[in-house]
Amino acid sequence: MRRPLDAALASLPPRRLPPADLLGAHVSTQGGIALAPERGRLIGASAIQVFTKTPNQWREPALERGAAPAFTRALAMHGIRAVTSHDSYLINLASPVPALRRRSRQSFIAELERCEALGIPYLVSHPGNFLDDRERGLVRNAASYAACLAAVPGRVHVLLETTAGSGTALGSSFEELAALVEAMPRAARRRIGFCADTCHLFAAGYDLVGDYDGVWNAFDRVLGIERLVCLHLNDSVGGLGSRRDRHALIGEGSLGPEPFRRIMTDERLTGVIKILETPKGEDLVTNDRRMLRRLRAYARATPRRPAQPGATVLS
């Protein structure tokens, strides 16, 4: 059974969308987080992803008084059924430098605390960069996640995101993500799920174009498809195995339309939150609105197909 969404979000009123529609984009919180749900409505989203702080600064803002109830009211008012947050780009919980790792832990704890205060049930996080030695980095990363989760008990789950595998980034293979989780104590593992990014998967060598079912069969075998809570839907500028984290508009990059048609009609992925992180364009609205219409057209036009067993996954 998939974990239910936070109760407050699961009970939101429908917006004449299919019951399983949990589709949207990362939206701005400029001017206050309570403005984000309306920005989601403007692009036609039923789900949103936000930052709870400026992602390229260490400064940790305190939530304004009344921000949490205002955000909850705005979610209901604008028909947003699911919400995730993404952590800061500066955080590196695998760093071999004690001072940076300590600062990263403090920042990640603050991310968890803001999510808990706002009622955001999921915090998406890129595994860290090991910088020196992969195995030691993985151990440091696991210990840091566990310590941060222990420091902030509650309902917030961390969603480890698949990475493109550039540089010294951890998490580009399903096996490495599994090893990262296995290195955590049981209490921490209970609060871990996964976010798969289609661009990152393809850049890391998972062939969603030529071997779509093989990729998801491998994910299920190694990580468990029931632990996939969120999908970042991004086409890729780079080719298969390029290790380049460069996002393109849906159907207009190296992945092309077919993998997204499959995702939008794959019964295994029906209840998964789906979030665009594609280029915004100048007005921050038109591209997202157009991409969401395109994805919903894929869902309507293509019959649902069951999974096909037996495919092979590139690594």
In tens, the pLDDT along 149-162 reads 999 999 999 999 99
Does the residue 311 lie in any domain?
no
Does the residue 2 lie in any domain?
no
Residue 3: predicted pLDDT:
34
Does the residue 257 lie in any domain?
yes
Q: What is the mean pLDDT of residues 174-188?
A: 98
Residue 227's pLDDT band, with cuts at 50, 70 and 90, is: very high
Does the residue 260 lie in any domain?
yes
Which of these, 237, 226, 233, lies nearest to 263 by C-alpha position? 233
Domains: count for the chain: 1
Does the residue 1 lie in any domain?
no
Does the residue 22 lie in any domain?
yes
Does the residue 280 lie in any domain?
yes
Residue 301's pLDDT band, with cuts at 50, 70 and 90, is: confident
Strands (E), the chain: 23-26, 47-50, 82-86, 122-125, 157-161, 192-197, 228-233, 235-236, 247-248, 273-276
Give the pairing type, strands 247-248 and 235-236: antiparallel
| β-bridge mates for residue 258, sequence order | none
Residue 305's pLDDT band, with cuts at 50, 70 and 90, is: low
Q: What is the mean pLDDT of residues 122-140?
A: 97
Q: Which helix (DSSP H) or strand (DSSP E) does residue 214 occupy? A: helix 212-222
Residue count of the chain, please give it: 315
CATH number of the domain within which 164 lies: 3.20.20.150
Q: What is the mean pLDDT of residues 4-33?
A: 67
Domain that holds residue 214: 7-301
Residue 63: predicted pLDDT:
93
Please say whether the beta carbons of 40 and 83 come within 8 A. Answer: no
Does the residue 222 lie in any domain?
yes
Name the pTM for this structure. 0.90
Share of the chain above pLDDT 70, in %: 89
- Decide if pLDDT at 109 tops 90: yes
- Decide if pLDDT at 131 tops 90: yes
Please say whether the beta carbons of 120 and 113 come within 8 A. Answer: no
Q: How far apart are CA 246 and CA 238, in angstroms?
A: 7
Q: What is the mean pLDDT of residues 259-265?
A: 98
- Decide if pLDDT at 310 tops 50: no
Residue 276 phi/psi, 5° resolution?
A: -80, 140
- Decide if pLDDT at 9 tops 80: no
- Decide if pLDDT at 191 tops 50: yes
Please say whether the beta carbons of 9 and 49 come within 8 A. Answer: no
Q: What is the pLDDT of residues 62-95, one digit of tens each?
A: 999 999 999 999 999 999 999 999 999 999 999 9
Q: What value does the mean pLDDT of the chain take?
A: 91
